[in-house]
Structure 1
Amino acid sequence: MVSRYVMVEKDSGKTPPHIQMLVAAILQHQRSEDHQVTERENELVLDVSWRVQLSSRDVEVGQSGTGIKRLEPVRFLIPFAFPLRPPDITLRSDFPREFVPHIYPGSPGDPVCPCIAEVGITDLMFQEGISGVLRSLQAWLDRAAQGTLMDPSQGWEPILFQNIAGSFLDDKGSFLRGVRDASLAAPTTPAFSVGWCQRETLDGRFVYVQKLSKKPFEYTKTPAIVVRAPVGQESKRFQHIDVRKREDLYLLLEHLGINGGDLTRLQKLVNDQGANGLDWLILIVVIKRPMNLIGCDHCFEILPFDCVLTINESPKAKVSPLQYIEAANPGLLQRVSHRGQRKHRSLHFIGVGSVGSKVALSLARTGNYGFHLTDNSLFRGHNLSRHAIADPASNLGFPKVVYMKNAIESTLSVECTISADDASSPTFTIPGAPDAIIESTGAAAVAANLRWIPFDAQLYQVGVYAEAELAFLSAEPRDQSRGVRVDDLEAWLFQQAFQNRAIGRLLFAENEHSRMIVGPGCSSVTTVVSDPKLSLQVSAITERLDRTLQAWPYDDDRGLAAYCVRDPKSGNLSWTSTQLGKTHSHSCKRNGLVWEVRVLDSVVSLMKECRASAGKNETGGAIIGRYDPLLQTVHVTGLVEPPAYAQAGPSLFQIDYPYLQEVDEDTLEQTANTLRVVGTWHSHIGASRPSSTDQTTFSDLSQNLGLPFPVMIVYGADGLEILSE
């Protein structure tokens, strides 16, 4: 037994201490036995005998059924550049590579290079040190000997070529779809077909875009020969063969069961292309494995090769493996985005500006949604600062929806249709029957139009305020009853801002200094905000929206309102949310006009609590709300406690007008004229029917406060009633 510590001389100097420590760590490992050290010009070679744990039935024989020995020779090639370069690990050249996965390809007679970690040996060494590398090597050899190195639940590992020379892009997944369709009858003999590829040059590399076409493109002539390997014992084994020349490629095909007359026929197909004066072709080998590939939902290993053609049919002609690139598709996007099955939802986006484009593109990348996009605005220079699409300036001046469609449908292969309609127009309609409508224009006219146009979908509204310090997400009921509308939910947000000064400073401080004109005409206005701040808030909105779309029960008749605040110091985000029940809507007349009074369910609940707390006396006070004179709508959003001097009794509640005027002035100032006193309310011990005194007070209220439509609410044993002319 040789000593476990070694000192190696190099150029009259000693081996660096850190390499000595590495060697010592390897030799001190419990599985390391006899060893030998050799010095080369740029590296240290350490050969050890590694003790492998065989299964109980193989111990007496001294090797596994596949030929893995109890003592396996392992070579560590330690570069003098260590630790900037990790050691390479190799096994004996006659290691049974055809029965073992996770091996880098090599030529017959070459040492076998095991792939001992998913992250690669460099990352493994920096993450876990040499002890982590040795643990992984030990586990790899033990599991290889016991036949458990490949986990069927993880999938089949494809051949790991180290000399990839380019890419084979499966354009829109058409090649894989063709393979799947043809797999209904798994070939027991080799199958050949010829197609064409488009050849493109990208940064000195070649990108191949496979097209299911029988004719070459007008500007290219790159034939593609597709070879389907027969399904049999060979396809259930591992072919770790390094392919660099044509003879290597034919050797790989022989290991896949393609030989004799079939191989001769294939060779003729290849040589005919060279005789036709072509310089290269693409040969695509398709292997149906016994289980799905790692990270895939199919069992087809696709191996494309770039083959240089020669007139003399030289077996030494260069062949380079290409990386098969599966085009983006909903299935692939779903697998890498989420675990488990998720629902598919169809979405209609109204507005794909800086907010809507980010939300739509992010949801598209999950693979769970189909899209229809509506936006009639054009892509302009300032949009590049925050829009999800940042294409070259040559794209400016075209509709935003055109580039969004290209990103969602052409790039991600996700269903997407578009329209450039004006969503504020009375003739605007929602095509089809989407699961949800998502409005993000920030335009009051669009929001107003969506109150009245008919549609059979759940409506969401998203917005970002105060230079992306505040974001808001609202959703009407999932049951599509529209008992709670997005304008009700927005009114709730204003009430929250009135009650919370910190939120109020963000929401009501939106003024002219946060906006700028970016084009000819005063209508060309944008908000001043950086893309990082905006993207942070929009990401939070999108994640919340995604969860809501997937999980919200269809029979829920409540609306959702949620706002997210960004801490300006830490950048942390904080959510506040609620669900509101059906809004109490009443039509009332005033000066010949019909007004809609919408009392939030939260306000009605508060009235009920106040009435119960007052006991045998009436109670009441000022009510806060928001007027929309154009649409003749008033939202009642909150209550104000009555003054201490208010008169209250079993059939009496009275407050004075100076109190109402004071509350009105304070509310207008605090909310930048967004909310104000819209009237009063009081309770009845008995029924809600207004008394003659209530009618007189209602008339006085209109004259004294100068409101466009005064609201008086009576809340009694049978609920609330609103006075009207």
Structure 2
Amino acid sequence: MRVSAVQRALTDISAHRQFDRWINSAQQLESGEWRATFGLRVEMSSLWTLEGQTPTGILAVEPVTVSFPIGYPDRVPQFELRADFPKNVAHLLPIKGDGSPRPCLVQGSIENLFRTAGVPGLLVQLSNWLQGAASDSLNDDPDTWEPARRDTIDDLIIGDTLSLQRLPKKKQDIAYRSTAYSSFRSKNVTGVYRITALSDDGDLTAQTWSKYAQRSFSPMYAGRSVSAIIRSKPLPDGSSFVCSEYMPDDVKDVASLLRSARRWHCENAVQSVIEGIERLAPKFKTQTVWWPIPISLLIHVERPRVVAGTTSAIETFGYVVEMIPGKGVGSVRIAAVIDELNTRVLRTFNQLPAETVAQPWVLLGGGSLGSKIGLHMARCGLAPALVLDGEALLPHNYARHALLPPSTKNDAPLFPEFKAYSMAKALELLSASTTGKANTIQESMLTKASEEELRAASKWLILNTTASTPVRHLLTSWDNPHTRVADAALYASGRVAAFCVEGPERNPNLDEVDTIKLASFIDDAEVAKLTLSGKARLELIRTGTGCGSETMQVSDATISVHAAHVSEELGRFYSQGLPDSGAILLAKRSSDGLRYEARRIKVPAFHRVDLETNGTDMWRLHLSEAAHQKIEIEIARHPHTETGGVLWGRFNESLGAIYVVDVIDAPPDSKRSATYFELGVQGLQELLREKHRQSYSEMCCVGTWHNHLQTSGPSSKDRKSANDIGKAASYPNALLISTPGGYCGLLADSTNKMLDTNGGAATS
């Protein structure tokens, strides 16, 4: 302890504007702490000053004892009030034994206040607190009611508090529910009861209790009991009784319990419970019940405002009335009433609205990334309705999986544990109603029944964490405009991560958003090198695509970092709604893991154009909004002539899709007229090769575009151009045409001439 720091604190106290005098000078106790008592003036009306105190019992000069614990100033000084200070004021800290009352000076951390404002800051709060106590305004928050102070809490009562607060029904005086309890007994220590309220009915009758024998696990014992639930009796006019009197909860025996019950207008009901215990206790045989049986008592008291820390104006007081077998009522103990684990609690503790309406979503993939996201969301009370994963859990999976292996080798399952089933069981422990299916997404779409099940479980979203390209293609082509799909994956040993979400009505769809993601990779030279370079490709070949591979070199902690960010985004979408466009969360970590950069990318809807082809295959051009805007600007620059340029992007032969993310301006030697546009060649090949190199061959020229001044379809010249390009091109190209009435286009593809309609080789 720094004695100089104590001296400075005493100087700060004597300098306070309401300091009156030192009553007891500072002294060091045998324990090593320093204590001093001073008088602090309390502002009050002249009438109260003459009387020497306020109606609430606050003196004009209140004696306050300050103690500086060993270790001060690293530890916070404590302020104590006089022993006979009124106990019926709000915001007093719990008093243990015969200790003096201490004011609660701040809602939050007293340490933070002391570190930032020092002793003067504590004195300001103390002075304000005494002023509030004098004017009886400590519980005048217009929004919340301060719960009653309870100096000692002996036991715990756990249950669904909102459900319990609906009891008893209007025509009942008392409702009974079964409970399960556990406790311990020893000669020197009084047991602590842990009581869980159950959903089934109970009663205070010997017939009901005949099966409630205790089980002993020395020194622990357990059994079944009942809980009596009571609320205030209505007023004579039928309206609810609202208790606006603040009093500490000082119940310690039957007499004080009945005294409080009288104040809460429920004395008769509480008396009935006590009498029922007295009648029942002598009927118990001590051969089956050795220790006291805890009867939990819940009394609901309506307050003028919402009780602080809750969403209800009902304050529930919990007690344990011990029934001594063969005798009668034993001690009466104060019990804390806390919520059981449920979605409401999970959401509250994760800063989400407790009343959030559940929306069904599907987690596709229960591997290292998917399992972590699933557990994060379940802890937020937002668990998936369905987990799909056809893979079994193998021993090495636990290195990065969110679930834990069996506790011992003897507990190891004889049959394979599938990831989906294991995930569902784990989420069920977090109050989730999740179904697990050891299916692939392909199997879930095989039959009408399984697909309907998938649609019902994914009304809000499907999250794909498989990092599988075929799965992404399947989800993109799924004929379901009502369910949006998202995709989360890691790249480059966890240095890069992306979370992609489709837009409303699935425009942009998953593959369109993935194309914009790829373009974003290319735009960042570091990310492009990490994910698309020759070294990165070799790593993909060696380990397999995506984070689902067992050999991908990424730590469990790295996966957890990205899983947490995806879960945060999902939680935000859940409470605020899915975005009004496609969206990408793109993250990049430094090589040392100390820096994490993330940015959101908005992906507007794509313009989709069905292309005219010479064959039977369907092809569609998907034009990004950025590329569309460039075309519009170029057309505006040439209002009286046709113009055009080059389309840049990629094509997906599996889906028959050409994706355009950019438009390259026409070379300077291009020719324009009112009826004709001829694309020049000056510098074009060099430019295309450089862009192709910068994209690590992921993007290429996918066609050309030009406009017509009048609304029309492709001209004969356009078809001839498509035919000529198709003969020379080794992959599909698009000829996109912009007209005042919209887009149309052609596919230039040499394969249209090489195969006949039956799939055989053409003969001419």
TM range (shorter): 0.7 to 0.9
Change (3 A) 1:324 1:51: same
CA contact (8 A) 1:102 1:157 kept: no
Change (3 A) 1:178 1:654: same
149, 157, 163: which is aligned to 1:177?
163
Instruction: Give the residue type in structure 2 aligned to 1:420.
Output: A
Segment of structure 1 superposing worse, 459-468 or 362-371: 362-371
345, 349, 356: which is aligned to 1:332?
345
CA contact (8 A) 2:608 2:620 kept: no
Does residue 51 (structure 1) correspond to residue 77 (structure 2)? The answer is no
Give the 3-state SS of the residue equivalent to 1:487 in structure 2.
helix
Q: For residues 264-663 of structure 1, what are the structure 2 equivalents within 5 Å?
A: 265=275, 268=278, 272=282, 277-289=289-301, 290=303, 291-298=305-312, 299-305=314-320, 323-336=336-349, 337-338=351-352, 344-367=358-381, 371-390=385-404, 397-411=416-430, 413-425=431-443, 426-427=445-446, 429=451, 430-432=454-456, 434-455=459-480, 457-464=482-489, 465-478=491-504, 480=505, 482-509=506-533, 510-513=536-539, 525-551=550-576, 558-561=581-584, 563-566=586-589, 571-655=595-679
Does residue 68 (structure 1) correspond to residue 58 (structure 2)? The answer is yes
177, 182, 196: which is aligned to 2:179?
196
Deviation at 1:177, TM superposition (A): 1.4
Deviation at 1:55, TM superposition (A): 5.2
Change (3 A) 1:458 1:312: closer
Give the 3-state SS of the residue equivalent to 1:114 in structure 2.
coil
Does residue 102 (structure 1) correspond to residue 92 (structure 2)? The answer is yes
Percent of aligned positions with the same letter in both sequences? Answer: 20
CA contact (8 A) 2:167 2:175 kept: no
221, 224, 235: which is aligned to 2:223?
221
Change (3 A) 1:303 1:84: farther
CA contact (8 A) 2:92 2:101 kept: no
Match of 1:3 in 2: none
Cα distance in 2 for residues equivalent to 1:526 and 1:583: 40
CA contact (8 A) 1:495 1:638 kept: no
Match of 1:11 in 2: none
User: Could you tell me the TM-score, scaled by structure 2's length?
Assistant: 0.76
User: Could you tell me the TM-score, scaled by structure 1's length?
Assistant: 0.80
Q: For residues 29-48 of structure 1, what are the structure 2 equivalents within 5 Å?
A: 29-34=16-21, 35-37=23-25, 40-42=29-31, 43-48=33-38
CA contact (8 A) 1:89 1:113 kept: yes
Match of 1:111 in 2: 100
Give the 3-state SS of the residue equivalent to 2:613 in structure 1.
strand
Change (3 A) 1:414 1:553: closer
Change (3 A) 1:149 1:193: same
Deviation at 1:309, TM superposition (A): 5.7
Give the 3-state SS of the residue equivalent to 2:385 in structure 1.
strand
Deviation at 1:143, TM superposition (A): 0.7
Deviation at 1:524, TM superposition (A): 5.5
CA contact (8 A) 2:214 2:289 kept: no
Cα distance in 2 for residues equivalent to 1:702 and 1:261: 94
Deviation at 1:682, TM superposition (A): 2.9
Q: For 1:252-293, what per-residue CA distance to the aligned partner results, in whole angstroms no more than 9, with x for missing partners?
A: 554443699658627737965795643243343423332433
Change (3 A) 1:564 1:284: same
CA contact (8 A) 1:199 1:207 kept: yes
Deviation at 1:407, TM superposition (A): 4.7
Cα distance in 1 for residues equivalent to 2:213 and 2:735: 76
CA contact (8 A) 1:239 1:255 kept: no
Deviation at 1:516, TM superposition (A): 6.7
Deviation at 1:300, TM superposition (A): 3.0
CA contact (8 A) 2:643 2:707 kept: yes
Give the 3-state SS of the residue equivalent to 2:306 in structure 1.
coil
Change (3 A) 1:56 1:686: farther
Instruction: Give the residue type in structure 2 aligned to 1:680.
Output: T
Q: For 1:428-456, what per-residue CA distance to the aligned partner results, in whole angstroms no more than 9, with x for missing partners?
A: 52232713333332222222222343435
Cα distance in 2 for residues equivalent to 1:377 and 1:328: 30
Cα distance in 1 for residues equivalent to 2:578 and 2:77: 56
CA contact (8 A) 1:222 1:280 kept: no
Match of 1:239 in 2: 248
Does residue 683 (structure 1) correspond to residue 707 (structure 2)? The answer is yes
Cα distance in 1 for residues equivalent to 2:243 and 2:355: 34
Instruction: Give the residue type in structure 2 aligned to 1:398.
Output: E
Deviation at 1:418, TM superposition (A): 3.8
Gaps of 5+ in 2: 185-190, 203-210, 216-221, 234-240, 753-764
CA contact (8 A) 1:386 1:531 kept: yes
CA contact (8 A) 1:95 1:112 kept: yes
Instruction: Give the residue type in structure 2 aligned to 1:713.
Output: L
Cα distance in 2 for residues equivalent to 1:284 and 1:85: 39
Deviation at 1:631, TM superposition (A): 3.2
CA contact (8 A) 2:674 2:709 kept: yes
Q: For 1:638-658, what per-residue CA distance to the aligned partner results, in whole angstroms no more than 9, with x for missing partners?
A: 333344444555544445789
Cα distance in 2 for residues equivalent to 1:15 and 1:649: 90
Cα distance in 1 for residues equivalent to 2:154 and 2:167: 29
Does residue 140 (structure 1) correspond to residue 123 (structure 2)? The answer is no
CA contact (8 A) 1:90 1:112 kept: yes
Q: For 1:134-177, what per-residue CA distance to the aligned partner results, in whole angstroms no more than 9, with x for missing partners?
A: 22222222111111112252333243445x5664433xx2x651
Match of 1:713 in 2: 736
Match of 1:8 in 2: none
CA contact (8 A) 1:561 1:577 kept: yes
CA contact (8 A) 2:368 2:548 kept: no
Q: For residues 663-674 of structure 1, what are the structure 2 equivalents within 5 Å?
A: 666=690, 669-674=693-698
Give the 3-state SS of the residue equivalent to 2:619 in structure 1.
strand
Change (3 A) 1:401 1:324: farther
Aligned pairs, number = 687
CA contact (8 A) 2:322 2:329 kept: no
CA contact (8 A) 1:198 1:211 kept: no
Q: For 1:595-627, what per-residue CA distance to the aligned partner results, in whole angstroms no more than 9, with x for missing partners?
A: 333333433332232233245454334323323
Cα distance in 2 for residues equivalent to 1:488 and 1:184: 58
Deviation at 1:320, TM superposition (A): 6.7
Deviation at 1:314, TM superposition (A): 10
Give the 3-state SS of the residue equivalent to 2:88 in structure 1.
helix
Match of 2:236 in 1: none
Give the 3-state SS of the residue equivalent to 1:104 in structure 2.
coil
Change (3 A) 1:421 1:95: same
Deviation at 1:205, TM superposition (A): 8.2
Instruction: Give the residue type in structure 2 aligned to 1:421.
Output: N
Cα distance in 2 for residues equivalent to 1:240 and 1:370: 42
